[in-house]
Amino acid sequence: MADRPPRPPMNPYLAGGLAGLLAVASVLLTGKYLGASTTFVRVAGRFVAAFAPDLVAKNPYFAKYGTSPDWQWMFVLGILLGGLGASLATRTFRPQVVPDTWRERFGPAPLPRFVAAFVGGLVMVFGARLAGGCPSGHGLSGVMQLSLSSLVAAGAFFVGGIAVASLLYGRAGKGGGR
Amino acid sequence: MIPPLVAGLVTGILFGVLLQRAEVLRYDRQLGALRLVDMTIFKFMLSAVIVGMVGLHVAFALGWAAPHLKATHLLANLLGGLVFGAGWALLGYCPGTSLGALGEGRWDAAFGIAGGIAGATLYALAYPWVKDHLLPVGALGKVTLPALIGVPSWIAVPLAAIGFGALLAWFERRGL
């Protein structure tokens, strides 16, 4: 049993189509649209409040969202549990410190990868809150509705991402393995 | 009525399973998309958008669901989107997939999540300035692109579906 090979991945069109059905079902059954980045604000508020409760109480942005778990908070936690469960069940759980593509380009040292991940996460969530959402809230939920704000933001996600990826890895579509 | 916290958890688990099974959680796939060498992420996202777009608009037309648009702030949407993209390319996971990536054992995602919490804190501190200086620029309210240019959604939705589908067909022809 331990020797059974990992299950091959699901076709991305099928998985994406099912994700679209899930998004519709969520709206029909509970009125909730998929999204993720607001949860970072709630968690940050809870975290900062442990050290500086006044700062959180007086900040209009933390006040707007509060610090208690809500539908989206549980949704984001669910993504972690779904990723864990699915990877264990299909023998694709793979503890890894430095991703393959990063290792090929920048080497196996963990520290540079951790610094890039932290700085990247910081810049990314700051940008998501400025834009009003992330690839879930804008990219899926907003674009499905053909929302103007979401079409602008989602386009900008990819323009910014493609530009910086080409700085990191060389010209787009050229060189390197997959 | 399903309790919201339970509904959120169940929806998240199902979404996480789909992201994991399509390998959308992987750094290599996300950077592959941003380097334009592996379109798995686009295939997943655009398939979800096509199905969800048609499904939601049918539900809207039948009165079974209400739209939920995010207000337009053109400068903030554009600038925030570009900043987001820069961070995304460095991290290699987006906010939702960073949690799923941690779930499938990618420990670097934990640093991205910690960075994201720091980024949310910085934005909360910057918010009073952003609200006064950036959000008012191009504040067009909650509007869809078809409504703005005066195209009814029964025309816009099929056109958008065909456009997204054509993009996917083009990726397939190029072997991406």
pLDDT one-digit tens code per residue, B84-97: 999 999 999 999 99
Q: A residues 5-44 near B, CB within 8 Å?
A: 9-24, 26-34, 36-37, 39-41, 43-44
B106 strand-pairing partners: A96
Chain A residues with CB under 8 Å of B7 CB are 26, 29-30, 32, 71, 74
> Given a cut of 60, is residue A59 above it in pLDDT?
yes
pLDDT one-digit tens code per residue, A64-95: 999 999 999 999 999 999 999 999 999 999 99
Domain limits, chain A? 14-95, 98-173
B73 strand-pairing partners: B139
N- to C-terminal Cα separation, chain A: 31
Chain B residues with CB under 8 Å of A125 CB are 87, 95, 115-117, 119-120, 123
Q: Which pLDDT belongs to residue B2?
A: 86
pLDDT one-digit tens code per residue, A130-162: 999 999 999 999 999 999 999 999 999 999 999
Q: Rounded CA gap, A110 and A131, in Å?
A: 31
Residue B37 to residues A135, B29, B34, B153, B169, Cα–Cα distance (Å): 20, 9, 8, 33, 15
> Given a cut of 60, is residue A175 above it in pLDDT?
no
Question: What is the arithmetic mean of pLDDT over A4-9?
Answer: 94
Q: Which pLDDT belongs to residue A172?
A: 52
Q: Rounded CA gap, B144 and A149, in Å?
A: 8
The pair phi, psi for residue A91, each rounded to 5°, is 60, 35
Whether the predicted interface score ipTM is above 0.95: yes
Q: Rounded CA gap, A144 and A35, in Å?
A: 13
Asked if B105 and A96 come within 8 Å (Cβ–Cβ), the reply is yes
With a cut of 50, which residues of chain B have pLDDT below it?
none
> In angstroms, how far apart are the furthest CA atoms of chain A?
56
Residue B15: closest CA among B82, B125, B103:
B103
> Given a cut of 70, is residue A178 above it in pLDDT?
no
Q: How many angstroms from the chain centroid is the CA of residue A156?
A: 16
Q: Which pLDDT belongs to residue A3?
A: 74
Residue B47 to residues A3, A92, B16, B165, Cα–Cα distance (Å): 34, 24, 16, 8
Q: Rounded CA gap, B142 and B138, in Å?
A: 12
Q: pLDDT above 70 covers what percent of chain A?
A: 94
Q: Rounded CA gap, B34 and B91, in Å?
A: 12
Amino acid at position A100, single letter = D
pTM equals 0.95
